Amino acid sequence: MPKNTSFAAVTREKARAKINLSLRVIGKKPDGYHDIMSAMQSVTLHDDVVARVELRAPVCRNSEGVPGYGAPRRGAPCIDLGASTANISLSIYPRSARVPQGAQNIAHVAAREYARHAFRALGRGMPGWRGLEAYISVSIRKRIPIGAGLAGGSADAAAVLRALSRAFEAALAKYAQSQPQLKLSLPTHAELHGMAVSIGADVPFCLRGGAAMAKGVGDLLTPIEPLPQDMHIVLVNPRFAVSTRWAFDVWDAAAAEAGGAANLAPCLEYVNDLAAVTARAHPIVDRIRLALLAQGANVAQMTGSGPTVFGLFESEAVARAACERARKEGLWAALCRPAP
């Protein structure tokens, strides 16, 4: 059996939550997805993602030539990506029955997608090489509530893509020291965006971050003026989750009852077409919004399909007081700022 040479790297990323400063639903597409227009802003509330990549390559024990590259040094690693495999493990803390721990988790999907595209990209620079194994472990420390309209899962998936991109690059840089003749390549920024689109609607924005106008199914992003860095954002969640699919299904039913016309209204600031849907089923959402306004917020609105409500405050002291009051009432609340 050939010996293996391994090259490992560890990277860390912040998976930042987002808020929808506006969300207009244009209409339902034939494929079941929805065209939207949404002004989105990253915030400093985040999950922590740690990714470790170990690449193992069998060692050539003889002086026979490797196809396309002549004879490597005795003992140098040689690989053929036609037989490459990825072994992926995912750990999420704290554990929750509402968060899948294995292959069904969106972060695991992101890891599989990145590994598949990475092997394909590496094959462009190393045709005909065999035997590379990738051992990928991802650990996520959750802070963003689940099913809250804050894109917590999408943020994790995007952070996994960024972390693995950096980890693969670092591990391959070590490998390249033993194979200087190789032209190593990894997925491009455009390919990363394509992966994000295939994984989930909010993942492209979370991959990019900052502030952007999202159109289409969330895949068409245009930079916009971000919120001021000194803006204080209070997030309040009533400690239950809302299904995005449910919210859009209810919106679809209302649109059909109204004649099925697409919503062509402009993307006004702080208007959310799903807010009325969620607030009708969960009146506490509107009570939270009104309470934040009464406590000094310049603006308060539900984000995404909810049920989280954000309030924008100019004063940190006033924002902190509103956050503490929500916590005393048994609600989940966090104080954060816009993230670049």
Quote the pLDDT of residue 9: 95
Does residue 83 have a pLDDT over 50? no
Q: Residue 337: which of 13, 17, 14, 49 has the closest Cα?
A: 17
Q: What percent of the chain has pLDDT over 70?
A: 83
Q: Residue 244: which of 95, 77, 13, 36 has the closest Cα?
A: 36
Number of neighbours of residue 165 by Cβ within 10 angstroms: 22
Does residue 332 have a pLDDT over 70? yes
What band does 74 get if pLDDT is binned at 50, 70 and 90? very low
> What's the mean pLDDT in 243-263?
81
Q: Each residue of 254-286: pLDDT tens digit?
A: 888 776 555 555 666 899 999 999 999 999 999
Quote the pLDDT of residue 241: 96
Quote the pLDDT of residue 69: 32
Instruction: Please give the domain boundaries of the chain with CATH numbers for all domains.
Output: 4-221 (3.30.230.10), 225-336 (3.30.70.890)
3-state SS of the chain is CCCEEEEEEEEEEEEEEEEEEEEEEEEECCCCCEEEEEEEEEEEEEEEEEEEEEEEEEECCCCCCECCCECCCCCCECCEECCCEEEEEEEEECCCCCCCCCCCCHHHHHHHHHHHHHHHHHHHHCCCCECCEEEEEEEEECCCCCCCCCCHHHHHHHHHHHHHHHHHHHHHHHHHCCCCCCCCCCCCHHHHHHHHHHHCCCHHHHHHCCEEEEEECCCEEEECCCCCCCCEEEEEECCCCCCHHHHHHHHHHHHHHCCCCCCCCCCCCCCECCHHHHHHHCCHHHHHHHHHHHCCCCEEEECCCCCCEEEEECCHHHHHHHHHHHHHCCCEEEEECECC
The residues carrying an active-site annotation are 18, 202
Lowest mean pLDDT of 5-9, 59-63, 225-229, 299-303, name the range.
Answer: 59-63
Provide φ and ψ at 250, rounded to 5°: -65, -40
What band does 32 get if pLDDT is binned at 50, 70 and 90? confident
Does residue 181 have a pLDDT over 70? no
Q: Each residue of 125-168: pLDDT tens digit?
A: 555 555 678 899 999 999 999 999 999 999 999 999 999 999 99
CB within 8 A of 65, min separation 6: which ones?
71
What band does 210 get if pLDDT is binned at 50, 70 and 90? very high
* Average confidence score pLDDT of the chain: 86
Quote the pLDDT of residue 159: 98
The dihedral of CA 199, 204, 205, 206: what is its sign? positive
CB within 8 A of 49, min separation 6: which ones?
12, 13, 14, 15, 107, 138, 139, 140, 156, 159, 160, 163
> What's the mean pLDDT in 45-51?
98
What band does 29 get if pLDDT is binned at 50, 70 and 90? confident
Quote the pLDDT of residue 78: 41
Quote the pLDDT of residue 64: 45
What band does 71 get if pLDDT is binned at 50, 70 and 90? very low
What band does 173 get if pLDDT is binned at 50, 70 and 90? confident
> What's the mean pLDDT in 10-35?
93
Does residue 227 have a pLDDT over 60? yes
Amino acid in position 144: I
Facing residues of 91 across strands?
Answer: 139
Quote the pLDDT of residue 101: 80
Please tell me the distance from the alpha carbon of residue 121 to that of residue 142, in angstroms, as a whole number. Answer: 31
